[in-house]
Amino acid sequence: MKLLAPSILSADFYRLGEQIEAVIKGGADLLHFDVMDGHFVPNITFGPVVLESIKKHCNIPLDAHLMIENVDKYIPEFIKAGADMVSIHIENNYHIHRSIELIKSLGAKAGVVINPGTPLSLLEEVLHYVDFVLLMSVNPGFGGQKFIPRSLERLRRLKEMVNAINPKVLIEVDGGIKEENILEVARAGADILVVGSGIFAHQDVQAQTRKLKNLLISSEAL
């Protein structure tokens, strides 16, 4: 099944609760959290207290993408706050095996994230022990950027690597996914599709979520 993961980075934070309820009613499968520290990426967003508040009212899994330094210090806090999935970057984690094992030992699904300019070959070893890979199709840091076209080719190659090394690994794709390209990304091998502005920039957030979810359902019927 293809999963739709709205990214709250593009939500209207004044109306966050209302907008989260709308995406859930619209058929969202996961809620994606872009955690940024102003060091690894040039933007600052939110920490575990925000996840903790949302978790109390949210019946779908929370997916935390950590764009931060010093992940081992914060992984336990995010999982305690309610993250069901936690992903960390291949680019800034020297002891990635240890960090992935830490995530799993605390009961969450563990993911590795790869930026658009990083060779896919770096994932070869880590594919043996992660639950999912998050392939960035924009440079991390901001919502509303354009999908980098080469990401489709990278996605197809990543799918081949996953099939050859560990077919249980899910592939999540994030950045610049909209109504216009969501089917192409799903067909190229994405299992989880993260959508920020492609949902929250619309007037009717619930209807837009439903529309994208129906597109994903239709992609599986073919």
Least Cα distance to 87 among 106, 118, 63, 104 occurs for 63
Interface segment toward ligand 5SP; rule CB under 6 A; list 6-14, 23-31, 49-57, 164-172: 6-14
Are the C-beta atoms of 172 and 111 separated by less than 8 Å?
yes
Q: Of 68-76, 80-88, 158-166, 172-180, which part binds ligand 5SP (CB under 6 A)?
A: 172-180
Asked whether position 216 contacts ligand 5SP by CB under 6 A, the answer is no
Distance CA 194, CA 118 (A): 20
Beta carbon nearer to ligand 5SP, 47 or 166: 47
Number of Cβ atoms within 10 Å of the Cβ of 1: 8
Q: Which is nearer to ligand 5SP, 99 or 208 (CB)?
A: 208
Which residue in the block uniquely carries the two structure tokens 């073919």? 222
What's the rounded Cα separation, in Å, for the pair 220 and 34? 27
Which of 7, 21, 3 shows the shortest CA–CA distance to 58?
Answer: 21
204 is catalytic: no
82 belongs to the binding site for ligand 5SP (CB under 6 A): no
Nearest residue by C-beta to ligand 5SP?
196
Q: Of these, 2, 4, 10, 216, which contacts ligand 5SP (CB under 6 A)?
A: 10
Question: Least distance to ligand 5SP from the beta carbon of 111, Å?
Answer: 13
* Nearest alpha-carbon partner for 91 in 126, 64, 62, 63: 126
Catalytic member of 29, 63, 131, 174: 174
CB of 173 to ligand 5SP, least distance (A): 10
Secondary structure class of 110 (helix, strand, coil): strand
User: Which residues make Cβ contacts (< 8 Å) with residue 53, sequence separation at least 6?
Assistant: none
What b/e readout covers 92-108, taking b as 16+ CB neighbours within 10 angstroms?
A: bbeebeebbebbeeeeb
> Exactly one of 92, 115, 118, 145 binds ligand 5SP (CB under 6 A); which one?
145
Residue 34 bears catalytic tag: yes
Q: Is 174 annotated as a binding residue?
A: yes
- Binding residues for a divalent metal cation, by number, are 32, 34, 65, 174
Q: List contacts with ligand 5SP (CB under 6 A).
A: 7, 9-10, 32, 34, 65, 138, 140-145, 174-177, 194-198
- Binding residues for substrate, by number, are 7, 65, 141-144, 174-176, 196-197
Catalytic residues: 34, 174
